[in-house]
Structure 1
Amino acid sequence: MSDPLSKRRLKLWIRLLGVTRAAEGQLREFLRVRHDTTLPRFDVMAALYRRREGVTMSELSRMLLVSNGNATAVVDRLEKDGLARRTPSETDRRTVFVSLTPEGLAAFESFAADHEAEVNRIFAGLTEQDIDLLTEILKRMGGPK
């Protein structure tokens, strides 16, 4: 016997994907138009902002759930633009730490404030109760806390 909620759960999954993709698309376009940057670049800068002391490329890749190659390409561009720097480890010459420069920190703070305002705009139709309910449901499903 099949689960009577199976089709509804499938429709819910499709709706969740649709909402996520639409919001991500709006954020990508917003970052491109407003800050001439990309979502992957924003994500790398956010990770480096959270870890001011710097991280290895492997740590950065793990934090972002992307390949080393993808992270390296973004870091290369940030370094070229003066927003990030690579610093060799003093104890292991094979290890390189990546961190934001002061210019990168300032740029990210500007991006982050605008990003938060844009996310707020995208989800402005949700009430406080809606947010609490959705958050509780997503937590029960095992989403990020």
Structure 2
Amino acid sequence: MTDSSVDDVEALVRDEPAGSKMELRLWLRLLSCSNLISAEIRRRLRVDFDVTLPRFDVMAQLHREPDGLRLGDLSRRMMVTNGNITGLIDRLAEEGLVVREADPDDRRAITVRLTRAGSKMFRMMAAAHETWIHEMFGRLTPKTLDRLLDDLQALKVSAAGGLRGADPE
């Protein structure tokens, strides 16, 4: 759902009687905020580093695992198909940012890790990313940030409890 279509639906829901659609309004507001922030992060990554958000995400996962990750583990962490990961890794390897190695525990598996150049580039991007987030959230007071963190944790627990097959406790 694009940000403008989220805004359109949010406007329709806003016209409903008070309290009748609060959960839907909340979901739409969260989606709108997420879309707005993601679009700006994507734009800045593209402009400042000529990198896509999925490539940044792959590098972030590999940065957390200096010894590397198997391709299957990487695709599970990112919740995408092995084919998507393979394409991303191909491009990162061509640029010298990652290296593929035979997994010492399973010759059929491939482990991928950042190269020194990949680690250096990721550290630069991560520092910029942190600055961008600070700029976007900088108008919020520490009290508001604490309240949002608490409220979003409660929302996460509620949403997890509403998942099919989830334990009601």
| Category of TM-score, reference length = shorter chain | over 0.9
- Displacement after TM superposition at 1:123 (Å): 1.2
Residue 87 of structure 2 corresponds to residue 73 of structure 1? yes
Residue from 38, 41, 48 that aligns with 2:55: 41
1:1-145 matches, within 5 Å, as 5-142=19-156
The answer to which of 105-114 and 89-98 deviates more is: 89-98
Q: Distance in 2 between matches of 1:49 and 1:70?
A: 19
Q: Distance in 2 between matches of 1:45 and 1:140?
A: 30
Cα RMSD (Å): 1.3
Q: Distance in 2 between matches of 1:60 and 1:94?
A: 16
Q: TM (normalized to structure 1)?
A: 0.92
Residues 78-132 of structure 1: per-residue CA shift (max 9 Å, x gap): 0000000000023422111000000000000000000110111111121111110
> Deviating runs (4+, > 6 A) in structure 1?
none
Structure 1 or 2, whichever has the larger Rg, is: 2
| Identity of matched residues, % | 41
Q: Distance in 1 between matches of 2:111 and 2:29?
A: 40
Q: Distance in 2 between matches of 1:31 and 1:57?
A: 24
The answer to which of 46-55 and 67-76 deviates more is: 67-76
- Displacement after TM superposition at 1:141 (Å): 1.6
- Displacement after TM superposition at 1:9 (Å): 1.4
Q: Distance in 1 between matches of 2:19 and 2:146?
A: 24
Mapped contact 2:70–2:103 kept (Cα < 8 A): no
